[in-house]
Protein backbone atom coordinates (compact mmCIF):
# COMPACT_ATOMS: atom_id res chain seq x y z
CA UNK A 1 0.00 0.00 0.00
CA UNK A 2 0.93 3.65 -0.43
CA UNK A 3 -0.82 6.21 1.78
CA UNK A 4 -3.54 3.67 2.50
CA UNK A 5 -4.17 3.00 -1.19
CA UNK A 6 -4.21 -0.59 -2.41
CA UNK A 7 -1.69 -1.24 -5.20
CA UNK A 8 -2.22 -3.86 -7.91
CA UNK A 9 0.22 -4.90 -10.62
CA UNK A 10 -1.37 -6.41 -13.72
CA UNK A 11 0.50 -8.39 -16.34
CA UNK A 12 -1.04 -8.99 -19.77
CA UNK A 13 0.80 -12.15 -20.79
CA UNK A 14 1.35 -14.28 -23.88
CA UNK A 15 4.08 -16.94 -23.90
CA UNK A 16 5.94 -15.25 -21.04
CA UNK A 17 7.12 -18.37 -19.22
CA UNK A 18 10.83 -17.66 -19.79
CA UNK A 19 10.83 -14.22 -18.13
CA UNK A 20 7.87 -14.27 -15.75
CA UNK A 21 9.63 -15.48 -12.60
CA UNK A 22 12.43 -12.91 -12.92
CA UNK A 23 9.85 -10.15 -13.33
CA UNK A 24 7.76 -11.27 -10.35
CA UNK A 25 10.77 -11.74 -8.06
CA UNK A 26 11.77 -8.10 -8.52
CA UNK A 27 8.39 -6.58 -7.68
CA UNK A 28 8.57 -4.24 -4.66
CA UNK A 29 6.89 -4.93 -1.33
CA UNK A 30 4.34 -2.14 -1.79
CA UNK A 31 2.35 -4.35 -4.23
CA UNK A 32 -0.78 -5.76 -2.57
CA UNK A 33 -2.00 -7.98 -5.39
CA UNK A 34 -0.44 -9.23 -8.62
CA UNK A 35 -2.72 -10.33 -11.44
CA UNK A 36 -1.72 -12.13 -14.63
CA UNK A 37 -4.05 -12.64 -17.57
CA UNK A 38 -2.83 -15.26 -20.00
CA UNK A 39 -4.10 -14.78 -23.55
CA UNK A 40 -4.14 -18.50 -24.41
CA UNK A 41 -0.38 -19.02 -24.43
CA UNK A 42 1.15 -22.14 -25.96
CA UNK A 43 3.70 -22.44 -23.13
CA UNK A 44 3.33 -22.85 -19.35
CA UNK A 45 2.84 -19.17 -18.49
CA UNK A 46 -0.42 -19.72 -16.59
CA UNK A 47 0.84 -22.72 -14.63
CA UNK A 48 3.98 -20.85 -13.59
CA UNK A 49 1.97 -17.77 -12.61
CA UNK A 50 -0.20 -19.91 -10.38
CA UNK A 51 2.90 -21.53 -8.84
CA UNK A 52 4.31 -18.06 -8.11
CA UNK A 53 1.15 -17.10 -6.25
CA UNK A 54 -0.32 -14.70 -8.81
CA UNK A 55 -4.05 -14.30 -9.31
CA UNK A 56 -4.23 -15.98 -12.69
CA UNK A 57 -6.88 -15.75 -15.39
CA UNK A 58 -6.77 -17.56 -18.73
CA UNK A 59 -8.55 -16.63 -21.96
CA UNK A 60 -9.83 -19.64 -23.90
CA UNK A 61 -8.56 -18.09 -27.16
CA UNK A 62 -5.97 -15.53 -28.21
CA UNK A 63 -8.12 -12.39 -28.18
CA UNK A 64 -5.31 -9.84 -28.40
CA UNK A 65 -3.32 -7.46 -26.25
CA UNK A 66 -6.09 -4.90 -25.90
CA UNK A 67 -8.69 -7.42 -24.78
CA UNK A 68 -6.15 -8.82 -22.35
CA UNK A 69 -5.80 -5.41 -20.73
CA UNK A 70 -9.55 -5.06 -20.40
CA UNK A 71 -9.57 -8.26 -18.35
CA UNK A 72 -6.55 -7.09 -16.34
CA UNK A 73 -8.20 -3.84 -15.31
CA UNK A 74 -11.58 -5.40 -14.60
CA UNK A 75 -10.01 -7.95 -12.26
CA UNK A 76 -7.77 -5.38 -10.57
CA UNK A 77 -10.74 -3.15 -9.81
CA UNK A 78 -12.72 -6.17 -8.61
CA UNK A 79 -9.82 -6.93 -6.25
CA UNK A 80 -10.20 -3.48 -4.69
CA UNK A 81 -7.19 -1.78 -6.26
CA UNK A 82 -6.91 1.99 -5.90
CA UNK A 83 -3.82 2.19 -8.11
CA UNK A 84 -3.14 -0.22 -10.98
CA UNK A 85 0.30 -0.59 -12.55
CA UNK A 86 0.58 -2.42 -15.86
CA UNK A 87 3.90 -4.23 -16.27
CA UNK A 88 4.78 -6.54 -19.16
CA UNK A 89 6.05 -9.90 -17.85
CA UNK A 90 8.76 -10.12 -20.54
CA UNK A 91 11.28 -8.11 -18.45
CA UNK A 92 11.61 -5.38 -21.05
CA UNK A 93 10.86 -2.83 -18.30
CA UNK A 94 12.38 -2.94 -14.83
CA UNK A 95 9.95 -3.84 -12.00
CA UNK A 96 12.04 -1.62 -9.71
CA UNK A 97 10.13 1.42 -10.98
CA UNK A 98 6.71 0.07 -9.97
CA UNK A 99 6.99 1.94 -6.65
CA UNK A 100 7.76 5.25 -8.36
CA UNK A 101 4.89 4.92 -10.82
CA UNK A 102 2.44 3.88 -8.12
CA UNK A 103 3.55 6.68 -5.79
CA UNK A 104 3.01 9.33 -8.45
CA UNK A 105 -0.47 8.00 -9.15
CA UNK A 106 -1.26 7.68 -5.44
CA UNK A 107 -0.11 11.25 -4.74
CA UNK A 108 -3.32 12.71 -6.13
CA UNK A 109 -1.32 14.81 -8.60
CA UNK A 110 -1.62 12.47 -11.60
CA UNK A 111 -4.31 10.09 -12.87
CA UNK A 112 -2.01 8.29 -15.33
CA UNK A 113 1.76 7.91 -15.13
CA UNK A 114 3.88 6.76 -18.08
CA UNK A 115 7.36 5.22 -17.86
CA UNK A 116 9.06 6.86 -20.82
CA UNK A 117 11.90 5.17 -22.69
CA UNK A 118 12.67 8.45 -24.43
CA UNK A 119 13.34 10.61 -21.36
CA UNK A 120 16.97 10.15 -20.48
CA UNK A 121 17.82 8.86 -23.95
CA UNK A 122 17.79 5.19 -23.00
CA UNK A 123 15.71 3.78 -25.86
CA UNK A 124 18.47 3.19 -28.39
CA UNK A 125 20.95 2.18 -25.67
CA UNK A 126 18.45 -0.42 -24.55
CA UNK A 127 18.34 -1.94 -28.01
CA UNK A 128 15.23 -0.36 -29.50
CA UNK A 129 15.42 -0.94 -33.30
CA UNK A 130 16.20 2.26 -35.16
CA UNK A 131 13.06 2.12 -37.30
CA UNK A 132 10.93 1.83 -34.16
CA UNK A 133 12.73 4.76 -32.57
CA UNK A 134 12.21 6.94 -35.66
CA UNK A 135 8.55 5.94 -35.86
CA UNK A 136 8.14 6.63 -32.13
CA UNK A 137 9.52 10.15 -32.49
CA UNK A 138 7.43 10.92 -35.59
CA UNK A 139 4.17 9.61 -34.15
CA UNK A 140 4.79 11.32 -30.80
CA UNK A 141 5.47 14.67 -32.50
CA UNK A 142 2.32 14.28 -34.60
CA UNK A 143 0.16 13.44 -31.60
CA UNK A 144 1.58 16.25 -29.49
CA UNK A 145 0.77 18.67 -32.31
CA UNK A 146 -2.78 17.42 -32.87
CA UNK A 147 -3.78 16.41 -29.34
CA UNK A 148 -2.08 19.32 -27.65
CA UNK A 149 -0.08 17.46 -25.01
CA UNK A 150 3.67 17.60 -24.44
CA UNK A 151 4.51 13.98 -23.75
CA UNK A 152 7.90 12.46 -24.55
CA UNK A 153 6.24 9.31 -25.94
CA UNK A 154 2.79 7.75 -26.33
CA UNK A 155 3.91 4.15 -26.84
CA UNK A 156 5.32 2.77 -23.59
CA UNK A 157 3.77 -0.39 -22.16
CA UNK A 158 4.70 0.44 -18.55
CA UNK A 159 2.17 2.73 -16.88
CA UNK A 160 0.08 3.37 -13.78
CA UNK A 161 -3.57 4.39 -13.43
CA UNK A 162 -5.92 5.53 -10.72
CA UNK A 163 -9.14 3.65 -10.08
CA UNK A 164 -11.09 6.77 -11.03
CA UNK A 165 -9.52 6.87 -14.49
CA UNK A 166 -10.06 3.17 -15.22
CA UNK A 167 -13.71 3.42 -14.27
CA UNK A 168 -14.27 6.56 -16.35
CA UNK A 169 -12.63 5.71 -19.68
CA UNK A 170 -14.76 3.83 -22.26
CA UNK A 171 -12.13 1.11 -22.54
CA UNK A 172 -14.50 -1.41 -24.14
CA UNK A 173 -14.63 0.83 -27.23
CA UNK A 174 -10.91 0.39 -27.83
CA UNK A 175 -9.05 -1.97 -30.13
CA UNK A 176 -8.24 -5.56 -29.14
CA UNK A 177 -4.78 -5.02 -30.63
CA UNK A 178 -1.65 -3.10 -29.59
CA UNK A 179 -3.04 0.35 -30.40
CA UNK A 180 -5.18 -0.04 -27.25
CA UNK A 181 -2.31 1.55 -25.29
CA UNK A 182 -2.27 4.63 -27.47
CA UNK A 183 -6.05 4.95 -27.40
CA UNK A 184 -6.01 5.00 -23.59
CA UNK A 185 -3.68 8.00 -23.56
CA UNK A 186 -5.79 9.85 -26.14
CA UNK A 187 -8.90 9.13 -24.06
CA UNK A 188 -7.23 10.37 -20.88
CA UNK A 189 -6.38 13.65 -22.62
CA UNK A 190 -9.88 13.97 -24.10
CA UNK A 191 -11.54 13.53 -20.69
CA UNK A 192 -9.18 15.89 -18.88
CA UNK A 193 -7.15 13.45 -16.79
CA UNK A 194 -3.67 14.46 -15.65
CA UNK A 195 -0.71 12.57 -17.12
CA UNK A 196 2.79 12.41 -15.64
CA UNK A 197 5.99 10.77 -16.88
CA UNK A 198 9.16 9.29 -15.42
CA UNK A 199 12.31 8.12 -17.18
CA UNK A 200 12.62 4.37 -17.64
CA UNK A 201 15.36 2.18 -19.14
CA UNK A 202 14.32 -0.58 -21.52
CA UNK A 203 15.86 -3.83 -22.65
CA UNK A 204 15.16 -5.34 -26.07
CA UNK A 205 16.66 -8.72 -25.22
CA UNK A 206 16.08 -11.99 -27.05
CA UNK A 207 13.24 -13.15 -24.80
CA UNK A 208 11.41 -9.80 -24.75
CA UNK A 209 8.19 -9.65 -26.74
CA UNK A 210 8.23 -7.28 -29.70
CA UNK A 211 5.95 -6.90 -32.69
CA UNK A 212 7.44 -7.35 -36.16
CA UNK A 213 7.71 -4.73 -38.89
CA UNK A 214 4.30 -5.52 -40.41
CA UNK A 215 2.54 -5.29 -37.05
CA UNK A 216 4.47 -2.11 -36.31
CA UNK A 217 3.13 -0.53 -39.50
CA UNK A 218 -0.40 -1.58 -38.54
CA UNK A 219 0.14 -0.06 -35.11
CA UNK A 220 1.39 3.20 -36.62
CA UNK A 221 -1.65 3.46 -38.88
CA UNK A 222 -3.85 2.78 -35.85
CA UNK A 223 -2.17 5.64 -33.99
CA UNK A 224 -2.83 7.99 -36.89
CA UNK A 225 -6.50 6.93 -37.04
CA UNK A 226 -6.88 7.42 -33.28
CA UNK A 227 -5.35 10.90 -33.51
CA UNK A 228 -7.60 11.94 -36.39
CA UNK A 229 -10.65 10.64 -34.52
CA UNK A 230 -9.56 12.70 -31.51
CA UNK A 231 -9.32 15.80 -33.71
CA UNK A 232 -12.70 15.13 -35.34
CA UNK A 233 -14.34 14.85 -31.93
CA UNK A 234 -12.69 18.04 -30.66
CA UNK A 235 -13.81 19.92 -33.76
CA UNK A 236 -17.36 18.62 -33.43
CA UNK A 237 -17.24 16.86 -36.81
CA UNK A 238 -17.78 13.33 -35.51
CA UNK A 239 -17.30 11.78 -32.06
CA UNK A 240 -16.15 8.17 -32.04
CA UNK A 241 -17.57 6.02 -29.19
CA UNK A 242 -14.06 5.79 -27.72
CA UNK A 243 -14.19 9.55 -27.05
CA UNK A 244 -17.85 9.66 -25.97
CA UNK A 245 -18.66 9.73 -22.26
CA UNK A 246 -21.50 7.28 -22.96
CA UNK A 247 -19.08 4.74 -24.47
CA UNK A 248 -18.89 1.26 -22.96
CA UNK A 249 -16.87 1.06 -19.76
CA UNK A 250 -15.53 -1.77 -17.65
CA UNK A 251 -18.39 -3.38 -15.74
CA UNK A 252 -17.32 -4.95 -12.46
CA UNK A 253 -20.40 -7.17 -12.45
CA UNK A 254 -19.52 -8.65 -15.82
CA UNK A 255 -17.57 -11.90 -15.91
CA UNK A 256 -16.58 -13.15 -19.36
CA UNK A 257 -17.57 -16.65 -20.39
CA UNK A 258 -14.21 -16.81 -22.16
CA UNK A 259 -12.38 -16.60 -18.84
CA UNK A 260 -11.13 -19.44 -16.67
CA UNK A 261 -9.91 -18.80 -13.14
CA UNK A 262 -7.00 -20.91 -11.98
Query: What is the Cβ-side half-sphere exposure of residue 119, based on CA atoms within 13 angstroms?
Result: 15
Work out the average pLDDT over 49-68: 96
The least confident of 50-54, 103-107, 173-177, 216-220 is 216-220
- What's residue 253's pLDDT? 59
Is the residue at 208 inside a domain?
A: yes
For the chain, what is the radius of gyration of the CA atoms?
Answer: 17
Is the residue at 260 inside a domain?
A: no
Question: Which of 132, 130, 151, 131 is CA-nearest to residue 140?
Answer: 151
Question: Which of 82, 43, 93 is CA-nearest to residue 201?
Answer: 93
Is the residue at 45 inside a domain?
A: yes
How far the first Cα of the chain sits from its last, in Å, is 25
Query: Would you say residue 145 has pLDDT above 80?
Result: yes
Q: How many CB atoms lie within 10 A of CB 12?
A: 26
- What's residue 256's pLDDT? 46
Is the residue at 262 inside a domain?
A: no
Is the residue at 185 inside a domain?
A: yes
Is the residue at 172 inside a domain?
A: yes
User: Model's pTM, two decimal places?
Assistant: 0.90
Range of the domain at 100: 7-248
Is the residue at 115 inside a domain?
A: yes
Question: pLDDT-based confidence at 77, cuts 50/70/90?
Answer: very high
Number of domains composing the chain: 1
Question: pLDDT-based confidence at 205, cuts 50/70/90?
Answer: low
Residue 26 has phi, psi (to 5 degrees) of -100, 10
Question: Which of 102, 100, 131, 97 is CA-nearest to residue 201?
Answer: 97
Return all residues near 206 (Cβ < 8 A) that are at least 6 apart: none
Query: Would you say residue 88 has pLDDT above 70?
Result: yes
Query: Would you say residue 56 has pLDDT above 80?
Result: yes
CATH number of the domain that residue 166 is part of: 3.90.550.10
| 240: DSSP letter | -
> For residues 193 and 165, is the Cβ–Cβ distance under 8 A?
yes
B/e letters for 222-257, b = 16+ CB within 10 Å, e = fewer, are bbbebbebbeebeeeeebbebbeeebeebeeeeeee
Is the residue at 194 inside a domain?
A: yes
Amino acid sequence: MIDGKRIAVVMPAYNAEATLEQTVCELPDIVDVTILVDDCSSDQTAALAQKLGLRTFVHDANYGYGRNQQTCYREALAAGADIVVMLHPDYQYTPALVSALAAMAASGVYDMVLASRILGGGALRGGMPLYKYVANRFLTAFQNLVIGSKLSEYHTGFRAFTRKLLQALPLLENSDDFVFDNQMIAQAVMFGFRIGEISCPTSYHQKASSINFKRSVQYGLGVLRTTLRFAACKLGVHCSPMFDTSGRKIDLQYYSETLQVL
